[in-house]
Structure formats: C-alpha cells, structure tokens
Chains A and B, each alone.
Chain A
Amino acid sequence: MKYISNTPAEQKQMLQEIGVEEISDLFQAIPDNIKFDRSFNLPEALSELELRELVKEKAAKNLDLSNFDSYLGAGSYDHYIPAIIDHLILRSEFYTAYTPYQAELSQGTLQAMYEYQSMICELTGMGISNASLLDGASALGEAVIMARRHTRNSRVLLPKTLHPAYANVARTYGEPHGLDFVDLPLEGGQLKLKSLENELDEETAAVVVQYPNFFGSLEEMKKIAELLEDYSKALLIVAANPIALGLLTPPGDFGADIVVGEGQPLGNTVNYGGPNLGYMAIKDDRRLLRQLPGRLVGKTEDVEGETGYVMTMQTREQHIRREKATSNICTNQALNALMASIYMATMGKEGLQEVANQCYQKTRYLIARLTELEDVEVVNQDNHFNEFWLKVDRPGTSLEEIEQKMCERDILAGVNLAELTDQEGLLVCVTEKKTRQDLDNYVKSLEVVLND
C-alpha cells in the first residue's frame, strides 16, 4: 500500500497538463552521475494483512510488562492510565494536525496547550510553562544552557543523585557553550549539602536538583534554597516528577527558577521510553521568559472580541530568530502534552493527590516488609516517594542472580544500579497499580530467592 489515490489515467492527464511525457522527466534536475540507478535493497511491499502477521511475529519475541509484576522505574513509570486518554487523542483533528500555524483553524490544539501550560503551572507552583520539549533529559539540557545565557556564568553543579542519563544529556548540551559541570557527591542517597555549600560561588550559573532524586529520596530542598540565597545569580533548576507533586511541596514554593522534568507519568505509557514529553516551567520573570525555549500559547481576542488562543512570543524561536534563537526546537511533543492535559483534568485535584498518596503508602509498605528480611537494607527507608534504593548483602548471592531468580518468578525486581551508576543495589519503583498481594508476593519471593 502506498496510499496514492491518483489512477494511471489521472497521472497521465496531469503530465499532459504540465507538458512532459513521463514522470521521470520531472527529475531532470538531478545530475545523471548521482542518480540512483538501481532498485532499493528493501523488502517487498506488504498488504495490511501481511504486515499485521509479520509484526505480530516479531512482537511475540518480546516479553512485555504484562508478563511480569514490574518494579522498574528510573525515569519511566507505569501508572494507571484512564481509558479516555487514548480515545480522545485519537480524534484525528488533534492527531493528524501539525503545529497550529493557522490559529483560527487550530483553536483545539491551541486551547488544549494553554490548558496544559496552566495545569503544569498549578502543579509545579511556577508562573509560566511552555508547551512541551522533547523529553525530560533534553529539557534539562535546555535549562542549563538557558541558565548560561541568563546568568552569563559557566559553572553548573550536578549532584550524583541526578538521573545519570539526565546528567549525561545536560553535559552534552552544555559542553559547546563552555559550561563546566561540577559533580556533587552523594551521602546516604541524598546530595551532600556540605559539598554544595563549598562549591557554590559567584561563577555558578545553576544548581540542578532532582525531586525526588534518582535514588528516590527527597533532597533538603529548603536548605538548598537557603544556601542559594547568598548567590543572587545562580539559578535553582529542579527536575521534578510531576506525579510526586500531587503529594510534595511544589518546587516553586522553594524558590525554583526553572522546573523541568519528564511528563510521561502524566497519562503517557512507558512505551520503551518514547514518545513522552519534557516539560519546562519558569518563575514569572519577564527576562527569564525571553530566554525560554519552545512554543508558548497565549490567550487573546479576535476582531469581534471573542476569546481565542495563538502561539506567542515567537521571536524567541528558530523560525524568526534563527542562529540567535533560544533553542533549535521546532517539532515538540504536543500530542503527549495533550495526553498529560487530559490526564491532569481527569484525575483532577483529588485524583492526583490520591495517586501520589497511594504511590507513597504502597512504597512505604513494601519497604517496611522488606526491611524485616535478613541481609536486606533500604538506604532511604524513611525518605522516599515511590522509589527506593534496596541493598541485599547475602554472602554468596550476587544481585544479578537475585534479579534473575526474581524474574523466573515473573517479577522485575528493580533497576540494577550498577548498570547506570557506580553504586550497587536495586532501584525499586512502586506505583498505585500495585496491590498488597503483589507487594507481599515481592517480599515472599525475595525471601525464597535469598534462601535458595
């Protein structure tokens, strides 16, 4: 299938109108010496039916999450997703539209983005949100170069409690702009405050804090904010899990200048890590606003005084400002932002609190039960949201073996920290989808595995 609906007769008619004999005549501008003169070495075209069969066959080689009781998180979270989300986003007027260049025929997308921006602000306690970035990690990358432009400083403090992939992406983005990244060590699952105090100086452009951090712990946000008060230039960048903000004090309340993060937990599936969405919110500051990357939707009026929505402050963007733009971003993650919007609206004020609370309580429960086991320790047993750092110290049993044996019992026990960091242990994630029975089974299985 090629989805071409002109018939050969129509094609012929069109060629005649144009005044050429054959379609290939339209390609004369391509010099002969570079013309592609063979067929593609690609598989033959498939019918819909054949495609379905082929892909199903390949898909069967996967063991998806439905085969397991999964405790994987570390940046991608398997929360409950209300059924209406997929139904609504599949409305083709949303789904098959592009960036709302013609506002009057794109009010649906525009108003939805305005609502998205509003709800992200409510959640983060910030003044302004853009209409999405590519993912959480690249949003952090954008944030550090924004801090560079805003402060003209070059030092960025990155705690070892930041998601390693985010740290990696931030470095990648920052390197061409002469940013120096300084690692802040960790201590018991939190960033070491003393080192932050020592490293902060007048040349600091930003301090990045993940909230909750990579290991699941909450940092001493208040103290961090206080330390920053002595350095008027340095920005506080918080990378926050938006679901956690159902329970936790919004970063805006701690004086965050920029809040970024992965919006996936808001109604987006895990989907092997993409597509999901980066969000970015900033405090209500005109100067910072002018440095903001990404699309922005604003409310306005039409000639008759009716309320309407448009993309605004576009002079920040690449299509106008070109090499001086605040970012190169063009295509963003609008549909994923729409999913996040529908999620936030559906769960609403109470629902988001309840999701967050259930995540917390169930995590607590699992930690409490696990720490009853011998040789099992939870580094952050009292300081966590929905992830925790599990250490198992059973002589003669490696973590890999434990993982494997849990797997044989259909449990994905967590992310092995050694794969991502220089730490040991499992990063275990619990969402509201878990039942007490699941959690008890996790504990029992681990006990059996350890005594094997």
Chain B
Amino acid sequence: MTEPLIKEYGSPGRKGYSLPELDVPEENPGEKLPAGTVRKEAAELPEVSEVDVVRHFTSLSNMNYGVDSGIYPLGSCTMKYNPKINEDVARIPNLAHIHPHQKEKYVQGSLEILYELKQYLAEISGMDEVSLQPASGAHGEYVGLMIIRKYFEKQGEERTKVIVPDSAHGTNPASATMAGFDVVEIESNERGMVDLDSLRAAVDDDVAALMLTNPNTLGIFERDICEIQQIIHDAGGLLYYDGANMNAVMGYARPGDMEFDVIHYNLHKTFSTPHGGGGPGSGPVAVKERLAPYLPAPVLQKEGSQYYWDYDRPDTMGKVHAFHGNYGVMLRAYAYIRTAGGEGLREITENAVLNANYMKHKLKDTYELPFASDSLHEFVLSGSRQKKDGITTANIAKRLLDYEQYAPTIYFPLIVKEAIMVEPTETENLRSLDRFIETMKIISREIEEEPELVENAPHNTVVRKLDEAQAARNPDLRW
C-alpha cells in the first residue's frame, strides 16, 4: 500500500487555493526589474485541489506513528506525551500573531512569559543567566561552546581542546568542531562512567572544557562528578552539561550544584513539546554568572516592570538565529512547567526513573545488560546474545514495528555493541510498559524458534524492510 506523490494527483489547471482578485493596477514586472530577473517559466509545483492535498497528507499521516499512537521508547529523546492544552496556549492569537520586529512595548505579555521561563530554567538547573535563542539541543551546545571560546579569549588564554567521553551523543563532538575546538575522546570504565585516570591523562592547559551528560547516555549517573569537576576546574577548564537527560534528575540534582559552568536544555524533551517528525525543538543555554557576558545577543532583561531585549553585549559570542529562537516551543514549555509546578517536576522525574527501572528489571534476563550500575530514566541493553543466533539489533527493532510499537534507539551509545537504548518516560503506564516488555520477550523467543520471522521483519508495516544501501549508492533525493 503506497501513496502516490502529491504531484501525481495533479492535472493542468487544477487549483487548491483562493485569493481575492487583484485590486490594484497590474504592470508587467519585466518592465522595471533588472534584466533577466523575472521568471520565464513557473516553478513546476503540483496542480492539485484542496481535497487532493487533504487526502494525500491524511494518507501519509496514516503511514506514520507518534507518541499519540503508542509507546515511543526512543532512548535519549524523551518521547513523553505532548499535552494538548500546551497547543492551545501556543495558539492564543495575541501570543501567536506577533511579529519579531514589533516594538517591545507591544509584546510585553510574551516577554513576561519568556522572562519567567528563563527564571524557571535557571532555578531548575541551578544556573544564573539564560539565553532562549538556540533552536535545538545541538544549537545550544554550539552556543555553549562558543561562550567558552569567548571566555578564554577574553582571559587571554588559548585553549584548543574539548574532552568528550566515548559514550557522548554525536552532537557533542560535532558541536566542538563547529566551535573550532579539537576533540579529545576519553574512554568509559567498566561501570559505564568516565574513567578518572583517562580523564586525568587527557587534561592539560589546552583543555577548554569537558562535555558531560549526567546521567550519561547509558542512563547512569556519574557518581564521581565531584572529582571530575575538580580535575577540570583545577586545570583551568570549564564544565559543559548536556541537558538532554534532565528528565532524570529534576528535583534531585542540579547541574549548577554539580559545578557545571554551562548547560543546554532540550525543551522538546524534558518539557514535553512535540517533536514534529524531527523538529522543531528549542535548546536554551544557561550559564553561571561569570559567563553571562558571552551569551548570544540580545538577552531578555527586565527593568522595573518592563521587559526588553538587551543588545548592548560587547563580549557576546554573537548570534545564531535571525530572531529570538523557537518562541512557539517556549510557550509550550512554559505551559508545561506551570501545570506541573515545582513539586510536579520532581514527581515527573521520579516516575520516569521508576518506569525505566521497572522495565530494566523485567528485561535484563532476556537481553544482556552490559552495565550493571544503577541507572535512572533510561537503560541500555545489548542484543549481543541474539546476535550469536544471527539476529541483529536492527532486526529486533524492525520486529517491534510489527507489534505496532516504536523501537528504542539502537546502535547508540557506540560503546555498547548491538545497543538497545530504552527510555519509556513517565507518561507511559504499567499497562503499556508491560506490553512492551512482553513483546520484547516474545521477540526473544521468536529468535530461538523462528529466527527468519525476525530476520525478515517487518511484515505488517506499509512497506517491508527498505533497501538503505541502494538509497545511499544511487541517491534519489527528489522527483
């Protein structure tokens, strides 16, 4: 069952739009505009009716799966339920229909919300000042590292290296490169944590920062965080916190109290904003006081009862977005924090951790658990046992789809062979957790009894296993 391309619905002259009649005199644009700038032929866009468009995209949506469809245990992505009231809030006309060049005095309500959001994010993380400008987690990482770069530049120190554990998300080393640093990768120890000796060996006067995710991508809290921060700070470096996993610690620990200097949040993870098939997100950056001068300009400030954008930031790292970032996402995160309240955020974390531990406990006999250390909101299994029977983690993931559940993150973190990274989030309940657990067990049995069934999965999806090699060898990227 495949859906034709939208252009295949087309017929010359068919229309799906209506516009008022042009009510001013019409001139030939070619008369006045520089030679050659008027298009000779119309762009070959589809010629379809509104009904065609609606049917087409409805049909496409039926070939998709979201959090509203069922469990979405994609590790590291915090695919929690996206509350509907937040959508309503973000669509309140006088919040939504404002222009980025409107004067501050006309958008005080929005600025008030953003300012309060900043304060909440500072409190939740234990940091001092916040920029809402970055539009994604990776964007936040880039901003955070550029702040560090500026800071050292200002101190007259030339520090060229950023240390990244081998368990880190790919955006960490990629962001370090984007910010002009050399990446030094350090190994994790057998407990799945930063190896202190490797860290000490890697630290020198050239190190600008260590990027750490805590709990890390194995879901394991870096117990040695106090020693780690000591080692880095003693060497004059700074500590960067990847806040992708804030859902594991809210109300239990704050990066600021762990002596981190810079952090980024992912509002689209921790604070429930919908992922939209890949985005948008929002990646606010929070820093300690001494790094505040380097935040991207402008910074939202308050004087008396008035909110304003402060552009007078001589030491700023620059700017990464044409306007103020993903405002609409911020409104949703604001609504989420207000409905949860401080105590609620703590309960959210507790339940995320409880759900993950329950699942881990139930699955650890069926699938190998490579790191036994306590884990928080997510855990990483390995399909290596099943691999011995010739079935890969990718096969297992595909088989899950047959049971109408989304697959966990696979093959990440890279330090686990055949990794299966599960993050159920707090919004799943016992019933859906049990269903997933049961399915994983069924698949394990199938691997023993009927391996071809798993190897050739998926069977029940709109398309069967797709040929990725062909797609990459002969890229067909457009009609």
Cα–Cα, bound, A354→B325 (Å): 31
CB–CB A336/B279 < 8 A: yes
Answer whether residue B366 sits at the interface, using C-beta atoms and an 8 A cutoff.
no
CB–CB B99/A119 < 8 A: no
| Residue of chain B at shortest CB distance from A271 | B328
Question: 8 nearest interchain CB pairs?
Answer: A273-B323, A176-B180, A335-B276, A45-B341, A172-B318, A40-B342, A334-B278, A108-B64
Query: Which of the four size classes fits the interface of chain A?
Result: 35 or more
CB–CB B478/A117 < 8 A: yes
Smallest CB–CB gap between B257 and chain A, Å? 5
**How many inter-chain contacts with C-beta < 8 Å in the A-B complex?**
696
Smallest CB–CB gap between A107 and chain B, Å? 4
Residues of B within 8 A of A402 (CB): none
| Residue of chain A at shortest CB distance from B105 | A63
Residues of A within 8 A of B353 (CB): 23, 26-27
Residues of B within 8 A of A418 (CB): none
Answer whether residue A449 sits at the interface, using C-beta atoms and an 8 A cutoff.
no
CB–CB A51/B322 < 8 A: no
CB–CB B468/A275 < 8 A: no
CB–CB B34/A218 < 8 A: yes
CB–CB B50/A84 < 8 A: yes
Binary B-proximity of A304-338 (CB < 8 A = 1, otherwise 0): 10111110111101111111110111111111101
Residues of B within 8 A of A355 (CB): 19
CB–CB B318/A40 < 8 A: no
CB–CB B106/A63 < 8 A: yes
Residues of B within 8 A of A108 (CB): 60-64, 277
| Residue of chain A at shortest CB distance from B330 | A274
CB–CB B17/A346 < 8 A: yes
Cα–Cα, bound, A65→B249 (Å): 40
CB–CB A322/B279 < 8 A: no
Answer whether residue A161 sits at the interface, using C-beta atoms and an 8 A cutoff.
no
Binary A-proximity of B279-290 (CB < 8 A = 1, otherwise 0): 111100000000
Contacting residues of chain A (273-305) with chain B, CB-CB under 8 angstroms = 273-275, 289, 295-304
CB–CB A76/B471 < 8 A: no
Which one of B109, B409, B458, B471 contacts A300 once the chains associate, using CB atoms below 8 Å?
Answer: B471
A296 and B475 contact, Cβ closer than 8 Å, known pairs A62-B106, A134-B139, A325-B174: yes
| Residue of chain B at shortest CB distance from A47 | B339
CB–CB A310/B97 < 8 A: no
A sample of 25 cross-chain residue pairs with beta-carbon separation below 8 angstroms, ordered by A number, consists of A18-B357, A23-B350, A23-B353, A39-B346, A40-B346, A51-B339, A56-B92, A58-B109, A84-B54, A92-B69, A97-B277, A100-B277, A105-B406, A114-B479, A132-B278, A168-B318, A176-B178, A222-B36, A247-B38, A248-B38, A275-B329, A295-B278, A299-B476, A313-B475, A351-B16
Cα–Cα, bound, A103→B472 (Å): 14
Which one of B14, B43, B362 contacts A123 once the chains associate, using CB atoms below 8 Å?
Answer: B43
19 more CB-based (< 8 A) A-B contacts, given A101-B409, A331-B268, A346-B16: A14-B358, A26-B376, A29-B220, A46-B341, A51-B339, A55-B92, A59-B92, A59-B95, A98-B77, A105-B461, A122-B45, A128-B478, A270-B97, A271-B328, A275-B326, A328-B174, A332-B278, A348-B46, A350-B42
Smallest CB–CB gap between A273 and chain B, Å? 3
CB–CB A138/B35 < 8 A: no
CB–CB B85/A51 < 8 A: yes
The segment out of A5-13, A194-202, A390-398 that lies at the interface is A5-13
CB–CB A349/B98 < 8 A: no
Contacting residues of chain B (394-417) with chain A, CB-CB under 8 angstroms = 397-398, 401, 406-407, 409-410, 412
Which one of A43, A65, A346 contacts B50 once the chains associate, using CB atoms below 8 Å?
Answer: A346
Answer whether residue A405 sits at the interface, using C-beta atoms and an 8 A cutoff.
no
Binary A-proximity of B333-353 (CB < 8 A = 1, otherwise 0): 001011111111111101101
CB–CB B94/A64 < 8 A: yes
Smallest CB–CB gap between A300 and chain B, Å? 4
